[in-house]
């Protein structure tokens, strides 16, 4: 069995509707992941739509309806249990999973490909000061 890192409680994910955390890949690069409730318990996914790297949770929680994660940019909806999308711009794609285990109501990160960095999104110094833009105009 792989090492496991305590993340949060099952109750917290269900009460808050989602839980955002930062992980690092084998090269130390940060990425965000989300825990979301589903009918089978909870699941963990990379915090990014498969269509256009749009974050589901920008720090205010994941928008969900009827057991589906909603992409805030184009409205594609992903099943919270399987990660599969059958509609919109991201149709026929599946979210990237992050392995977790629930033991006695505690959620653990058990994915051998990543390490836990911290609760919440990526550090401010890793992000730009504003939204992405393709405009040639600077402010």
DSSP assignment of 99-120: -EEEETTEEEE--TT-EEEEES
pLDDT at 23 over 90: yes
pLDDT at 114 over 60: yes
**Pair type for strands 30-38 and 84-85:** unpaired
Q: Which residue reads 């992941």 in tokens?
A: 33
Mean pLDDT of all residues in 104-131: 79
Mean pLDDT of all residues in 100-124: 93
pLDDT at 47 over 90: yes
Task: Find which of 2-6, 35-39, 123-127 is predicted with most confidence, using mean pLDDT.
Answer: 35-39
The answer to whether 40 and 48 have CB atoms below 8 angstroms apart is no
pLDDT at 3 over 60: yes
DSSP state of 68: E
Question: How many Å from the N-terminal Cα to the C-terminal Cα in the chain?
Answer: 51
d(CA 114, CA 109): 9
Domain boundaries, the chain: 5-121
Return the CATH architecture of domain 5-121. 3-layer Sandwich (2.102)
Sign of the Cα torsion 56, 62, 67, 72 reads: negative
């Amino acid at each position: 069995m792989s090492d496991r890192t305590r993340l949060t409680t099952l109750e917290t994910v269900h009460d808050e509707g989602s839980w955002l955390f930062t992980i690092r890949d084998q090269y130390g690069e940060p990425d965000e992941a989300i825990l979301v409730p589903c009918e089978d318990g909870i699941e963990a996914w990379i915090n990014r739509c498969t269509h256009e790297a749009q974050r589901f949770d920008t720090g205010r929680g994941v928008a969900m309806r009827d057991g589906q994660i909603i992409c805030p940019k184009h409205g594609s909806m992903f099943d919270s249990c399987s990660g599969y999308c059958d509609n919109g711009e991201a149709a026929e794609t599946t979210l990237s999973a992050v392995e977790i285990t629930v033991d006695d109501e505690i959620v653990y990160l058990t994915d051998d490909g990543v390490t836990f960095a911290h609760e919440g999104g990526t550090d401010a110094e890793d992000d730009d000061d504003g939204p992405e833009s393709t405009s040639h105009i600077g402010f």
